């Protein structure tokens, strides 16, 4: 009778709370025992964005280092690699914090509901501990490179936190903040290996990042029935507005990159880098094609990694750029 009574009370609610508590503990234990969900919460696919850190290394060839001189490029590669790891750590911490803030809204989103925190596969306690360890460890490791890099890493982390708590709710500023994060990655890569980079490259990075963010917002807007319920600022945008902004940024990106190839002081005097302009134009047009024809763009990293023509184009751009710099710089 005692057991039956307990069972009935459980059905009325008290045991339901106990079951929820047991489920929460089970989730916490599984997250520690199986690190897969924790790693997925760090969004490793997003780490492709941190590849911008290596941009300065590529474009400083024959200026700061020579391909045949291992003692020149190996220390630079090591520092750039460490910088990449640092940004993966602090960006992962930022994603954990952001997902904890948005867990309820994410559960209503067709794709974001699959994130470990929203799906209940990762304990919030584990997420808090992981975010603390990654941020402290990443920012501490940044000082191993140099003080300026550490300052940029700290600035990036502060902007990430500010975005999660406030700026993501401010229309237009939300997109510009994300684009600023891309620029900081490129700047961090140059500071890490202590080489000067043309301001044109930062401008191109900013415009290219805005291009990605605008089209990501477009994909988000077209994928949900009630945009404002998922992201308050999303309801402030329209497809027409985002398409106009995308057209402006696309044109500006092509123009800025073209001017960079002709005007930058640290590029070959014979304007050979102009041969890389078609790669940039194709990349932008290919991305727009995927966004409008195949309704992609919600996850830019997936487009960059999974679309073979895009991957081939980016690889060819890097190889041709490096070859031209080696031959004519």
At 154, is the pLDDT very low, low, confident or very high (cuts 50, 70, 90)? very high
Residue 139 lies in a domain: yes
* 171 and 282 housed in the same domain: no
In a domain, 3, yes or no: no
- What confidence tens digit (pLDDT) does each residue in 134-146 have? 999 999 999 999 9
Task: Specify the residue for token string 């008290």.
Answer: 14
Mean pLDDT of 262-289: 94
Contacts of 191 (CB under 8 A, 6+ apart): 146, 148, 149, 152
pLDDT at 6: 41
219 lies in the same domain as 187: no
**150/251 same-domain check:** no
Both 274 and 290 in a single domain?
A: yes
Average pLDDT rounded to a whole number, residues 149-156: 97
Asked if 189 and 271 sit in the same domain, the reply is no
User: Is residue 214 a part of any domain in this protein?
Assistant: yes
Is the pLDDT confidence value at 97 over 50? Answer: yes
Average pLDDT over residues 250-268: 93
Q: What is the pTM of this model?
A: 0.85
- pLDDT value for 216: 92
Question: Does position 55 have pLDDT exceeding 80, yes or no?
Answer: yes
108 vs 310, higher pLDDT: 310
pLDDT at 61: 92
pLDDT at 113: 86
Rounded Cα–Cα distance for residues 156 and 131 (Å): 15
Supply the pLDDT for residue 214: 96
Residue 27 has pLDDT above 50, yes or no: no
Residue 159's pLDDT band (boundaries 50, 70, 90)? very high
pLDDT average, residue stretch 87-115: 89
304 in a domain, yes or no? yes
Query: Where residue 79 sits, what CATH number does that domain have?
Result: 1.10.357.140
Last residue of a domain, which of 169, 197, 225?
197
**pLDDT recorded at residue 3:** 43
Please say which residue of 129, 164, 197 terminates a domain: 197
Q: Given this model, what pLDDT does residue 229 score?
A: 65
Q: Residue 230 has what pLDDT?
A: 67
What's the pLDDT at 109?
75
175 and 275 co-located in one domain: no
pLDDT at 25 over 60: no
Domain count, the chain: 2
188 and 216, same domain (yes or no): no
Report the pLDDT value the prediction gives residue 266, as an integer from 0 to 100.
Answer: 85
Same domain, yes or no: 161 and 186: yes
Task: Yes or no: say if 290 and 228 are a contact pair by the CB < 8 Å rule.
Answer: no
Compare 37 and 255 and report the one with higher pLDDT: 255
Residue with tokens 């727009």: 288
Domain identity same for 139 and 78:
yes
My answer on whether 277 and 325 are in the same domain is yes
- Asked, for residue 4, whether it belongs to a domain, the answer is no
Q: Is 308 exposed, middle or buried (0-12, 13-18, 19+ CB in 10 A)?
A: exposed
Domain limit, last residue, from 197, 213, 233: 197
Is residue 13 in a domain? no
Place 108 in a pLDDT band, splitting at 50, 70 and 90: confident
% pLDDT > 90, the chain: 62
Average pLDDT over residues 117-122: 88
Q: Are residues 182 and 216 in the same domain?
A: no
Q: Quick check: 294 pLDDT over 90?
A: no
Contact 266, 196 (CB under 8 A): yes
| pLDDT at residue number 23 | 42
Per-residue model confidence (pLDDT) at position 251: 98
Report the mean per-residue pLDDT for the chain: 87
Rounded Cα distance, 104 and 93, in Å: 19
Check pLDDT > 50 for residue 218.
yes
Q: The domain containing residue 131 runs over which residues?
A: 23-197
**Which segments of the chain are extended strands (E)?**
none
In angstroms, the CA 131 to CA 147 distance is: 23
User: Is 127 part of a structural domain of the chain?
Assistant: yes
> What pLDDT digit, counting tens, does each position of 175-209 carry?
999 999 999 999 999 999 999 878 888 899 999 99
For residue 198, which phi and psi values (nearest 5 degrees)? -60, 140
What pLDDT does 296 receive? 82
In terms of domains, do 220 and 272 share one? yes
pLDDT score recorded for residue 21: 38
Q: Is residue 207 part of a domain?
A: yes
Indicate the pLDDT class of residue 228, thresholds 50, 70 and 90.
low
């Amino acid at each position: 009778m005692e057991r039956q009574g307990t069972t009935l009370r459980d059905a009325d609610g008290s045991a339901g709370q106990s079951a929820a508590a047991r489920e929460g503990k089970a989730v916490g234990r599984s997250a520690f025992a199986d690190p897969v969900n924790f790693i997925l919460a760090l969004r490793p696919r997003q780490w492709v964005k941190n590849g911008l850190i290596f941009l300065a290394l590529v474009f400083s060839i024959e200026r700061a280092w020579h391909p045949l001189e291992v003692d020149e490029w190996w220390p630079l590669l090591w520092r750039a690699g460490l910088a990449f790891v640092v940004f993966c750590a602090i960006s992962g911490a930022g994603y954990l914090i952001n997902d904890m803030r948005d867990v309820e809204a994410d559960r209503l989103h067709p794709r974001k509901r699959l994130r470990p925190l929203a799906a209940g596969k990762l304990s919030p306690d584990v997420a808090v501990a992981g975010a603390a360890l990654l941020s402290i460890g990443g920012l501490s490791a940044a000082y191993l490179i140099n003080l300026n890099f550490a300052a940029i890493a700290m600035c990036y982390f502060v902007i990430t936190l500010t975005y999660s708590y406030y700026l993501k709710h401010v229309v237009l500023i939300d997109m510009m903040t994300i684009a600023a994060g891309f620029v900081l990655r490129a700047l961090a890569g140059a500071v890490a290996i202590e080489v000067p980079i043309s301001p044109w490259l930062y401008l191109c990075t900013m415009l290219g990042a805005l291009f990605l963010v605008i089209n990501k917002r477009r994909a988000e807007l077209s994928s949900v029935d009630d945009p404002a319920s998922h992201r308050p600022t999303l309801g402030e945008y329209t497809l027409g507005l985002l398409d106009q902004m995308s057209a402006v940024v696309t044109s500006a990106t092509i123009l800025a990159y073209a001017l960079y190839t002709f005007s930058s002081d640290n590029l070959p005097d014979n304007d050979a880098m102009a041969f890389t302009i078609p790669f940039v134009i194709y990349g932008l047009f290919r991305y727009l094609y995927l966004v409008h024809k195949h309704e992609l763009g919600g996850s830019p990293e997936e487009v960059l990694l999974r679309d073979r023509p895009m991957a081939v184009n980016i690889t060819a751009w890097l190889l041709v750029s490096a070859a031209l710099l080696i031959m004519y710089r």
